[in-house]
Amino acid sequence: MTVIFSKSGPLAALSPADRLALCDRRTSTDSVVRSTTAAILERVSRDGDRALCELARELDGVDLASLEVPDSFWNECLAGIAPDLRAAMERTFRNLASVSRAFAPRAEETEVEPGVIVGRRPDPLARVGVYAPGGRAAYPSSVLMCAVPARVAGVGEVIVCSPPAADGRPSPAVLAAAALAGVDRVFAIGGAGAIAAMAFGTASVPRVDRIVGPGNAWVAEAKLQISGTVSIDCPAGPSELLVIADDSVDPRRVAQELIAQAEHDPLASAVVVALDADTKRRIAVALVRERISEPRLRTVIEALAARGALLLAETLDEALAFAAEFAPEHLLLAVRDADAALARVRNAGAVFVGASSSVAFGDYMTGANHVLPTGGLARSYSGLSPLDFVRWTSWQRVTPRAAASLAPAVATFAEAEGLSAHAVAARSWEEQ
């Protein structure tokens, strides 16, 4: 395989413009993506089901007899999948459920002063929409990653949208995952149109309280544009990987990790920061020697040329500083003392500790979630978890004695802000 990286060489030699280009991976800067997505959102908001059917014909080449896929067909798909695939999906289901239960939010209460009690409880959302990507490949794993923590959190209704194949239905594997996860409804719609349908609601597709799930640049942009209408998990766009590697790593392992991320999308970002020149050279050689079959080969080559990089850092400190700036979706620490490096990591969607902690394992089987922030948004967003499927109800409880204690200070504060009625209300408790 002939490989041309977008950037190559020492980190310290990158110009400010080159460094910015590597770190600025926002797809919303693309005016075509932005304007096309806005037009689709407006069209679905205005024309509902009719627009969705027209978009399926225009973008997917499919005439849909129905937007919704009956659950009897999902169950047939689950019964009909290969036994080894079903076993793998069931293992993922169990591990996701285990991790989700361990990290599930719980009600809390604290007494901040004698008689002053503040608490909050997690209340499950009523209805959540899951987007499961299609197009270049079908992703049943994404259905499980989104639906399982939603179910653990107690969400009332879970719907799934996934692009239709030539037969007018999503991939049988996606439908099998929907059956296994126990979702409530499935719709054969994809792209920005699916996001619009879940955000605004149509005659067929119910409006949801939150939209979760990964997608391509158009899906990510659609989620950003409707985020003022309905909440979203995070703007998860094209896949990203940053590997920090020292001379202890098998260079072929790193090459395989790069290819595995680059095969997702021509806009995927796959970057290596090697800690010595020989490791950098060996990774480059290993990458050239890897054999990839079509149609993935073209996608990998395009991705590495557009957003790939093979860089050299003088020290681990320099590499970790760049990682914090880059804020990758996936960060693989392929170094000797990976645990020590982990303690110093900031701004990563998910960290893979040690060369044997392949991103592929996290994508499918460990029970951690693969719905993660991209485009540098790991600076402020986290990966999907049960926390994304609840809203918090908070309360305060104040005893009469505590009210009398709070009253003078609260009245003073209120008077300083010119809110005299607040002050009167507070001071009335001094007399109790």
The residue out of 236, 261, 282 marking a domain boundary is 236
- Which amino acid appears at position 322 of this protein? F
Mark whether 226 and 358 lie in a shared domain: no
Residue 24 DSSP symbol: -
In this prediction, residue 29 carries a pLDDT of 65
E-assigned strand segments in 328-388: 330-334, 350-353
Cβ atoms within 10 Å of 127's Cβ, excluding its own = 18
For the residues 372-388, what does the mean pLDDT come to?
Answer: 93
pLDDT level of residue 147 (50, 70, 90 thresholds)? very high
Tens of pLDDT along 271-294? 999 999 999 999 999 999 988 887
Q: Is residue 329 in a domain?
A: yes
Q: Is residue 58 in a domain?
A: yes
Q: Is residue 376 in a domain?
A: no
Mark whether 268 and 362 lie in a shared domain: yes
Mark whether 131 and 49 lie in a shared domain: yes
Name the active-site residue from 76, 329, 370, 415: 329
The residue out of 347, 367, 387 marking a domain boundary is 367
Of 21-35, 42-56, 172-186, 389-403, the range with the lowest mean pLDDT is 21-35
Mark whether 232 and 244 lie in a shared domain: no
In this predicted structure, the answer to whether residue 62 has a pLDDT above a threshold of 80 is yes
Mark whether 12 and 56 lie in a shared domain: no
Considering its fold, how many domains does the chain have in total? 3
Q: Is residue 394 in a domain?
A: no
In this predicted structure, the answer to whether residue 201 has a pLDDT above a threshold of 80 is yes
In this predicted structure, the answer to whether residue 205 has a pLDDT above a threshold of 80 is yes
Mark whether 83 and 199 lie in a shared domain: yes
Q: Which long-range contacts (CB under 8 A, 24 or more apart) does 110-115 make?
A: 113/402, 113/405, 113/406, 114/401, 114/402, 114/405, 115/398, 115/399, 115/401, 115/402, 115/403, 115/405
Is residue 209 classed as helix, strand or coil in its secondary structure?
A: coil
E-assigned strand segments in 125-175: 127-131, 157-161
d(CA 351, CA 327): 11
Of 144-153, 289-298, 359-368, the range with the lowest mean pLDDT is 289-298
pTM to 2 decimal places? 0.90
Residue 70 DSSP symbol: P
Mark whether 225 and 244 lie in a shared domain: no
d(CA 328, CA 209): 28
d(CA 352, CA 370): 12
Q: Is residue 388 in a domain?
A: no
Name the active-site residue from 257, 330, 415, 422: 330
For the residues 301-321, what does the mean pLDDT come to?
Answer: 95
In this prediction, residue 135 carries a pLDDT of 67
Mark whether 222 and 309 lie in a shared domain: no
Give catalytic status of residue 330 as yes or no: yes
Mark whether 354 and 419 lie in a shared domain: no
Q: Sheet holding 390-398: strands in order across?
A: 108-113, 116-124, 390-398
Q: Is residue 193 in a domain?
A: yes
In this prediction, residue 270 carries a pLDDT of 95
In this prediction, residue 220 carries a pLDDT of 87
Q: Is residue 373 in a domain?
A: no
Mark whether 329 and 414 lie in a shared domain: no
d(CA 149, CA 384): 8
Tens of pLDDT along 328-349? 999 999 999 999 999 999 999 9
Q: Is residue 71 in a domain?
A: yes
% of the chain beyond a pLDDT of 90: 86
Strand-strand pairing, 157-161 and 240-245: unpaired
d(CA 394, CA 411): 23
Mark whether 300 and 192 lie in a shared domain: no
pLDDT level of residue 12 (50, 70, 90 thresholds)? very high
Mark whether 101 and 150 lie in a shared domain: yes
Domain that includes residue 273, residue range: 7-25+238-367
In this predicted structure, the answer to whether residue 26 has a pLDDT above a threshold of 80 is no
In this predicted structure, the answer to whether residue 35 has a pLDDT above a threshold of 70 is yes
Region of 409 (left: φ > 0; alpha: ψ -120 to 50; beta: rest) is alpha
Give catalytic status of residue 314 as yes or no: no
d(CA 228, CA 153): 24
In this predicted structure, the answer to whether residue 137 has a pLDDT above a threshold of 90 is no
d(CA 365, CA 359): 10
Q: What is the CATH number of the domain that holds 251?
A: 3.40.50.1980
The single residue listed with the structure tokens 């049960």 is 386
Average pLDDT, the chain: 94
In this prediction, residue 3 carries a pLDDT of 79
The residue out of 221, 236, 251 marking a domain boundary is 236
